[in-house]
Each structure stands twice: as structure tokens, then as C-alpha cells.
Amino acid sequence: MSRTLILAQEINCPTDTGTATSFTSATVVRLVNTSTSADHVITVVESQGGSVIGTFTMLRGTTELLEKQPSYCVFAADTSVKGAKVGFTG
């Protein structure tokens, strides 16, 4: 059974590619959509302002663990999505 290791403080996700964050070169990011009324698109880019790697829709009130390359950056459609750099133990 794996457990989540918190490695940084949770922040509001940026909302555009120019301010996208790598979460301090994280390879795993815990995302939570705190909205109770809206689903939001999450976008992963090669770097701030870089090419899109992929997107997915995060349902309202859900949590996801996003695995990514350390240099890849993330932004969300709304600041109600929060993220933190995490790892796994066990």
C-alpha cells in the first residue's frame, strides 16, 4: 500500500500557459478541484508558454495524482484547482 508524501505547500493552480508551474520540478502532483459546481480542464505543457503535452477534465470535488516529467508545467481552467508536489512512500 502506498502513501502520499507531502513535499511542498499546496497552491492555487495558475490559469494560463505563461504562468504554468512545474511545482518545483515535481514528478507527481496532487490536484484537487475544490469547486462544487464546475468541472475544470487541466493542461500539461512542456514548459511555461510551451507546447501542450495533454489535457484532461477534472470533475468537481475530486482529487487526482498527476505523474509528469520534472520540467513539464501545469495550469488549470480555474484557481479552484489546487496542487502540491507529492511523492509516494511504502
Name, in order, each residue with C-beta under 8 angstroms of 46's C-beta and a sequence gap of 6 or more: 53, 71, 72, 73
3-state secondary structure of 8: coil
Q: What is the mean pLDDT of residues 14-40?
A: 98
Q: What is the mean pLDDT of residues 60-82?
A: 98
Any idea what DSSP says for residue 17? G
Q: What is the mean pLDDT of residues 54-68?
A: 98
Q: Give the CA angle between residues 28, 86, 32 to the nearest 5°.
A: 85
pLDDT of 59 over the 70 cut: yes
pLDDT of 1 over the 80 cut: no
pLDDT mean across residues, the chain = 96
pLDDT given at position 36: 96
Q: How far apart are CA 79 and CA 16, in angstroms?
A: 10
pLDDT of 56 over the 90 cut: yes
